[in-house]
Amino acid sequence: MATNTSICAICAHRHIFKSSTHWCPECEEALCSNCSEYHSISKASKSHKIVCLSQYQSLPSFVINIQQFCGQHKEKFKQYCMKHECPLCYKCITKHGKCNQVVPLEDVVSKVKTSEVFLNLEQSLEDILMNIKRIRDDRENNLKSIKNQKLEITMKIDRTITQINHQFNKLKDELMKELEQVYHVHNDRIQLIISSLSDQENEITNCSMKFENIRKYASDLQLFLGKKDIQSKIADNEKRLTSIIENESLKNIDIKLVIDDKILDILTSIKSFGSILTRESLSGIDTITKDKNKQAQMLVPYLEINRKDVKIIPDIHTIGLILFDVEWCDHSSDKELNYLKYLSLWKKKNSMRRCY
């Protein structure tokens, strides 16, 4: 990544300092309007995807900081090791000589924006926001419920008070104090959950905006290598939501009033006006929801390959449903492309066949 994105890199080589307006992710250089035009029609660089500088600067820092050149050898990444999940330059390949899962980096990243992993990231962000809304709505409904119950109990207490002597005022005050105490304890607990959910919602919303910018403006390599940060945020928020559910924080609170049977007896025999009880019941939310059809495909990269390049990689295990998107290239005279999709279901201890 260039250290100064405000100056056109090409002009700077000519000792001309001109403000940049565009960015080339492939060359990792800022360009002025003139150089950008020449860059887009040059034979060597016309395939590069140039973006406006403002769009590039809107990308998250963890994406901008992704390097396309090997930090050790200063050579551009050309290969990708599926076993170690890392890009390689041509010099790095010697250290991965025993890895039989080294493939061209272009094959891995060329379809990343339409891959299952990318689509699942987008779906997972939507799922997190949906689950936050579900839980927050549930807590807000319970908050309204106990508020109404508090009001009903207060009215019932007042109706009872009017039927008895003023000597019961002290007992009333004690009971009201208990009611307020119970209400505030549970109100504060629920408000704390709602506040936490709001913070998560803001975090995921911000993550979604960054994700949208990545999808629009990041290079395929930046997108491919930067997706782990978003996956980490998704996993963290899922864990936090699951924790809320599992620690029984979503149990509904009902406030009830129990009137002492002796309230209508001799006034001097009355020791208590009543008591405030709470009843916990399940809220109906016992787990977070997500698209189950895509869960098994989260870690399977999309690869477009030719039939002649297919080989079997043994000793790889998986659980669930693996969907392979394979382009079958027919080199017959009509040059037509036939697309086939293979769906295979393996048990946990079976070896998985993987195509590269």
Note whether 241 and 339 are same-domain residues. no
In whole angstroms, what is the distance from residue 165 CA to residue 157 CA?
13
Tell me, yes or no, whether 138 and 173 share the same domain: yes
pLDDT tens digit sequence for 131-159? 999 899 999 999 999 999 999 999 988 88
CB neighbourhood size of 98 (10 A): 6
Confirm whether 200 is domain-assigned.
yes
> CA-to-CA distance for 89 and 136, rounded, in angstroms?
48
Q: Does some domain include residue 113? A: no
264 and 169 share a domain? yes
Q: Domain check: are 156 and 259 in the same one?
A: yes
Cα–Cα–Cα angle for 159, 162, 167, rounded to 5 degrees:
125
Residues 277 and 154 in one domain: yes
SS3 content of the chain, % helix, strand, coil (to 5): 50, 15, 35
**AA letter at 186:** H
- Identify the weakest region by mean pLDDT among 128-137, 220-229, 238-247, 264-273: 264-273
State how many domains the chain has. Answer: 3
Residue 333's domain comprises 304-346
Segment 2-17 shows an average pLDDT of 82
Query: How far is Cα of residue 144 from the mean position of the Cα atoms in its chain?
Result: 30
Q: Looking at the structure, tell me whether residues 186 and 135 fall in a common domain.
A: yes
More confident residue, 352 or 272: 272
Query: Is residue 116 situated within a structural domain?
Result: no
